[in-house]
Structure 1
Amino acid sequence: MRYYAAGIIAFAIWGFFSFVLKPLHTYPSLDILFYRVFLCTGIMLILIITTRRHLLAENIRLFKRQPLKERRRTVLLNVGGGIFLTGNWFFFIYVMNHISIKATSLAYLVCPILTTSLAFYILKEKLNRLQWVAIGLSAAGCLLLGIGHLMDMVYSLVVAISYALYLVSQRRNVGFDKLLILTFHFVVSTLLLLPLYPLYSNALPVSPVFYGYIAIIAVGFTIIPLFLNLYALKRLTSSTVGMLLNINPIIGFIIAVTVYSEPIDTLQWAAYGIIFISVIIFNTRIRNNNL
């Protein structure tokens, strides 16, 4: 039950991301990404150094004991995880602040379909007939949302594929402490962004409000839900976690309509209803197997 709860809580938190990201819409997407990643990395490194040095040493010894082929695989999975996360964060921030909240919601509605498909073909995860029906319903709902909103669908696919690849890759990233893995991903992201910072960053923000929101984003909307996400992947399949991801865009959709008054038509209401039903169907048969 705790693995299931971890996945639900993580995606529910992300559903409310617009509340802390929208107030920063006047800042360039790259600047938000820079300070978000740098702060996350600093916090995690301090946490590891002060509370988990012994565990870090154990994990390093574990890594050194692995055969060469396994070490290469571990490095590839973790470097790839950092790259996928960095891309997903940038595209998400850009689409949220410069396209629409609904487009980001659509991205994370498409993501479960991509995740489940990749998990089936790459990880050989098994799906029963009812789960395939749920995936079909979810795909139908996404197609309905894409009607008349082609560019939203294009942006959504870019956001979705980056996170789907992260989920599938981390399902195989086992044997190491999840906080250490997450810290490594942040370090990789920082190393990717540091060369870009002097070239593409704007003037150093001076508003304390900016840093306040960045701190909330770093801790409440990055470190905590990502750790819960990785924790859920210890026992749940990528397909299950992928379908739970629908919780995020459904909450985001409700906020977009009720709080930000983004226009919504009857077709879109029907599409989200179909997708919500697909989540229930997908998880009904597998819930007892993952408690």
Structure 2
Amino acid sequence: MNQLRLGYLYGLGAYLLWGFFPIYLKLLRPAGPVEILAHRIVWSVVFVALLLAALRNIAFLRALARRPRALAGITVAAALIAVNWGTYIYGVNSDRVVETALGYFINPLVSVLLGVLVLRERLRPAQWAALGVGGSAVAVLTVDYGRLPYLALTLAASFAGYGLVKKRLALPAAEGLFVESAVLALPALAYLAWLGGRGTFGHVSAVHTALLVLAGAATAIPLLLFAGAANRLPLSTIGMLQYLAPILQLGCGVLIYHEPMPPARLAGFALVWLALLVFTVDALRHARRNRTTAARNATSPVPAPTR
């Protein structure tokens, strides 16, 4: 199997798992959102530690310990992903899967906005148009919900911020997840110890306990698959595949859990999809133009040196 096809399989696997993740989280009830989050963190550390030990790749920790700025960045990344995970778990288990899907639809637009505000990037006109349409969508959905879609905005902002920090740290997927989870493990363990016998772990059923333990693998495996895809596929392809997860999450919310989708909410989502269409078409056109320019430069004759 060639590397491109393998990249597609990894990417589809990652986004399919993320897309159907609401079903898994629903199975963890009656555990509360904070208890689920704590177990997800603790068992992620255990799963990735075993994986790294099997790969004999623990030496990176010693090198990382000598980089205090990197450790500070990892702490920020850990806080952002904890907010993202906790918000998502709360949204799914409070029957707001549709709103969580909205968060991941608008995440690319928030990432572009962060690029302008933090990295001082300059946007092309089509990107400004996409942001404007996305802002209109949030306004329409605010009227429909009677409030800001704060779950969606929190998910989008926390994940976009996490992506920005991760881009600067440039850590491999497994190693990054291990250190981030390890940063959060102490408060997670403290919470589970405080919860004690009031928690659901070991008190509901053997299947429920096993599902809480497997939350670590369910967290790590899609990230590892995504890393494999990112190393083999063009960025434009990854950009297209990323919409698969929120489409599936939206389908779960509407078709499986029968959450309402009134006309005004549908109109808001339609505006989001329009913004993403403008954003994606512009990104593909820009990538094609860059490839054409690079190919032209590569085939043009090199001028003879002057004397």
Measured in 1, the distance between the counterparts of 2:189 and 2:229 equals 30
Q: TM-score, normalised by structure 2?
A: 0.77
* Aligned AA (1:199): W
Measured in 2, the distance between the counterparts of 1:190 and 1:166 equals 18
Measured in 2, the distance between the counterparts of 1:217 and 1:137 equals 37
Alpha-carbon spacing, 1:15–1:62, altered in 2? closer, same or farther (3 Å): closer
Could you list the runs of 5+ residues in structure 1 that have no partner in the other structure?
65-70
SS at match of 1:147: helix
1:37 match? 41
Could you list the runs of 5+ residues in structure 2 that have no partner in the other structure?
292-307
Measured in 2, the distance between the counterparts of 1:158 and 1:248 equals 17
Residue deviations 1:245-290 (CA, integer Å, cap 9, x gap): 5543332222211111111112222322332233233223334469
SS at match of 2:169: coil
1:218 match? 216
1:227 and 2:224 are equivalent in the alignment? yes
Structure 2 residue corresponding to 1:19, chosen from 19, 23, 26: 23
Q: TM-score, normalised by structure 1?
A: 0.80
* Aligned AA (1:252): Q
Contact in 2 for aligned 1:111/1:242 (Cα 8 Å) = no
Identity of aligned residues (%): 25
1:193 match? 188
Contact in 1 for aligned 2:131/2:275 (Cα 8 Å) = yes
Residue deviations 1:19-45 (CA, integer Å, cap 9, x gap): 111122322112211222211110100
1:271 and 2:273 are equivalent in the alignment? no
Measured in 2, the distance between the counterparts of 1:118 and 1:243 equals 20
Q: Write out aligned runs for 1:1-291 (5 A).
A: 10-53=14-57, 56-57=58-59, 60-61=62-63, 64=66, 71-151=67-147, 153-174=149-170, 176-200=171-195, 202-203=198-199, 204-206=201-203, 207-220=205-218, 222-229=219-226, 245-287=242-284, 288=287
Alpha-carbon spacing, 1:192–1:161, altered in 2? closer, same or farther (3 Å): farther
* Aligned AA (2:166): Q
Residue deviations 1:89-136 (CA, integer Å, cap 9, x gap): 112111211251122123323433322211222134443222222232
By how many angstroms is 1:244 displaced?
6.5
Residue deviations 1:225-250 (CA, integer Å, cap 9, x gap): 33355667789999997896554333
By how many angstroms is 1:183 displaced?
1.0
Alpha-carbon spacing, 1:93–1:37, altered in 2? closer, same or farther (3 Å): same
Alpha-carbon spacing, 1:140–1:240, altered in 2? closer, same or farther (3 Å): farther
Alpha-carbon spacing, 1:23–1:93, altered in 2? closer, same or farther (3 Å): same
Alpha-carbon spacing, 1:133–1:105, altered in 2? closer, same or farther (3 Å): same
2:297 match? none
Alpha-carbon spacing, 1:38–1:58, altered in 2? closer, same or farther (3 Å): closer
RMSD value, Cα = 3.4
Larger Rg: 2
Contact in 1 for aligned 2:64/2:70 (Cα 8 Å) = no
Alpha-carbon spacing, 1:160–1:18, altered in 2? closer, same or farther (3 Å): same
